[in-house]
Structure 1
């Protein structure tokens, strides 16, 4: 297993807060990093495109100020998610901003990120790529990514359908680099379980929707708290790529969650062609199957503190059991 020094030396628990479309903003990212987990956001959340430079400046300044005031604190690096897709006409602009600010970690999604890897490596940045199967993992590794994010069954957003045990085990047969595991991870003992399975980090998104800092509608946050795994619907209708969504939000826009039509990848539009106001992104709410473990809306700091306590308790139980 492998964990880059910039992450290993600056985290309090091996977790990356995954980038949440619309929801992740500088406030959430800063609080995640201050708590000792990698915080991230999609570049496309900064609208218009010129705002990305402002967001990156704000995040860097606030984290630097916090570190100066708390020199002994572990302040995690942050990451920016780039969608590598033909419809993302912002990619070149957004990567130029990331290069300018030397963003520590770039998280890429969809297509193999050949040019993104070159740009990030030009200043020493890391690139972690989302994959849902072995084929995509091998393709990403062939262009030089620094790690793989295994988006297994049950994860929020554009999740795969492969069981995490199967996906992780198969990829570990040919790759010994950094692996981040996603899929219904909501508690500290889940994080430890991911490590025991062979992952280096856990990837958690849904757990941070129900936080005060998240840029989500309060009704969305409450629906996360009130929902269980049976309320998560897997569909490609809304973006052209299969993802997990909350049943209640689908019903609220007048659709029957049990009778959704099929779509296709050609319907996916990101960059300036995508809309943060459209129903596909704003009114239909994504979440992973781990929602049943989220019982309250709280601060990001409190969520991470609870994760650390659960993680420590799980480690202690394992050690004493021996």
Structure 2
């Protein structure tokens, strides 16, 4: 594993987001992101994350989220003690700020207790959620699909943004990253990540060139040994490309990207899917997707760069090599 750090200025970033090996955030993946994946991502030098709703205990049992945060915190502390020259990156927890998420208040308290360093908020910008994060020294990144939502999130106290552009896996926007990042950067100079087909070092460098501080990648990590995904799902990621992605609102009520083959497996025609009403979203059971569609699998358009199921470390190493090589190639075009 390379120990070399990227060298651009980080003065505008909160302390929790500085010093990464690579400017990359592993996005929170429903069901798939579990402590093993998060810990591996952080040890590899990028931000690892998971949705709080992934930690679901049986009735009467203590909160699994509490146990997961203890596991992650202790594992990363041990890594840092054993590897002072190669500390782990911080981790993040995704909070679904939607009125149907009945666990939100409890989960906010647990995250504050464990001093979660990075909070990723989705589907609703709320002052009290941001205040809960700030109470324990956390940094809030709110995901948005357009500039209007971005302005609203910052006005309510978010520290930074995740711009979810066209091509992102799962719930995704429809705007080009070239437009979305530039519109946000016209007024906002704080932490900004870009989501949308970030599966290679070249894509990560392009995100940085646009003005994003970080890439935000999910789909490539589905095809890793540490991911809590079915082997068939992982192989479908490897075997598919951008033209195998379908953009639909049917499955959750919000537009998102899904693997065409998984839709066919469910007995539906991916070319003739009806739309759904956004009011059908309901996170009371942890996901807005009905159980009947639990094997409709999300994916972004960047999976053409995923050619094998690997470890997280191998994946991050590949993106790191590609990122630096692409940077050197472009730098040669601009001699001092």
Please indicate the TM-score interval, normalised by the length of the shorter structure: over 0.9
> How far apart are residue 277 of structure 1 and its match?
7.9
Task: Report the Cα distance in structure 1 between the residues aligned to 2:35 and 2:68, rounded to whole angstroms.
Answer: 6
Cα 1:155–1:274 shift into 2, 3 Å? closer
Task: Check if 1:42 corresponds to 2:51.
Answer: yes
Cα pair 2:251 2:289 within 8 Å, conserved: no
Cα pair 2:142 2:161 within 8 Å, conserved: yes
3-state secondary structure, aligned to 1:219: helix
- Does 1 or 2 have the higher relative contact order (CA < 8 Å, sep 6+)? 1
Alignment of 1:177-192 (within 5 A): 177-192=190-205
Task: Report the Cα distance in structure 2 between the residues aligned to 1:133 and 1:268, rounded to whole angstroms.
Answer: 20
Q: Which residue of 2 aligns with 1:241?
A: 254
Task: Report the Cα distance in structure 1 between the residues aligned to 2:28 and 2:192, rounded to whole angstroms.
Answer: 17
TM-score, normalised with respect to structure 1:
0.97
- Residue of 84, 93, 99 corresponding to 1:71: 84
Q: Which residue of 2 aligns with 1:148?
A: 161
Task: Check if 1:314 corresponds to 2:326.
Answer: yes
> How far apart are residue 269 of structure 1 and its match?
1.1
Task: Check if 1:291 corresponds to 2:291.
Answer: no
> How far apart are residue 321 of structure 1 and its match?
2.6
Alignment of 1:117-196 (within 5 A): 117-196=130-209
Cα pair 1:91 1:271 within 8 Å, conserved: no
Task: Report the Cα distance in structure 1 between the residues aligned to 2:55 and 2:69, rounded to whole angstroms.
Answer: 10
Deviation digits for residues 230-260 of structure 1 (CA, Å, limit 9, x no counterpart): 1100111111111000000011111111111
Cα RMSD, aligned residues only? 1.4
Q: Which residue of 2 aligns with 1:230?
A: 243
- Structure 2 unaligned residues grouped into runs of 5+: 1-9
Task: Report the Cα distance in structure 2 between the residues aligned to 1:263 and 1:88, rounded to whole angstroms.
Answer: 20
> How far apart are residue 271 of structure 1 and its match?
3.5
3-state secondary structure, aligned to 1:96: helix
Cα 1:58–1:166 shift into 2, 3 Å? same
